[in-house]
């Protein structure tokens, strides 16, 4: 099965939050950062990857995304700050350190 991800992006620390699901985290985050995807993240300038979870199948990832979207904002912030207390951009910290091509089709 293909790896899937639930991710949370923000406009800034304690700013606007966006929760999404994808099978290609790198591509999806680049789409948000480059404003290729019109809508909520473009409107509210959400472009910092602050949290993500990995799943072995898309069905479980979608279920987790739906549950997180129902959470109170306070709970989401607590979840983020457990693993990323400084709200660093995990995309910048992780993906740009990886060698080779970063954007794949699919």
Q: Using one digit for the tens of pLDDT, what is the confidence trace for 9-50?
A: 999 999 999 999 999 999 999 999 998 988 898 899 999 999
The number of residues making up the chain comes to 106
4-97 placed in CATH 3.40.1440.10: yes
Strand 48-55: give its sheet, edge to edge: 17-22, 4-10, 48-55
Which one, of 52, 41, 53, lies nearest residue 11 by Cα?
41
Arithmetic mean of pLDDT, 44-61: 94
- Domain positions in the chain are 4-97
Q: What is the pLDDT of residues 79-104, one digit of tens each?
A: 999 999 999 999 988 765 544 433 33
The pLDDT value recorded for residue 52 is 95
The pLDDT value recorded for residue 100 is 40
Q: How far apart are CA 28 and CA 40, in angstroms?
A: 14
Arithmetic mean of pLDDT, 69-83: 97
Q: How far apart are CA 102 and CA 58, in angstroms?
A: 21
The pLDDT value recorded for residue 51 is 96
- Has this prediction a pTM greater than 0.75? yes
Answer yes or no: are the C-beta atoms of 64 and 20 closer than 8 Å: no
């Amino acid at each position: 099965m293909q790896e899937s991800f639930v991710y949370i992006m923000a406009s800034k620390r304690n700013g606007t939050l966006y929760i999404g699901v994808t099978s290609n985290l790198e591509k999806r985050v680049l789409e948000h950062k480059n404003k290729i995807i019109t809508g909520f993240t473009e409107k509210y300038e959400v472009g910092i990857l602050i949290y993500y979870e990995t799943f072995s199948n898309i069905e479980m990832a979608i279920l987790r995304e739906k549950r997180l979207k129902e959470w109170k904002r306070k709970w989401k912030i607590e979840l983020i700050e457990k693993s990323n207390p400084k709200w660093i951009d995990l995309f910048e910290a992780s993906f740009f350190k990886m060698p080779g091509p970063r954007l794949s089709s699919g």
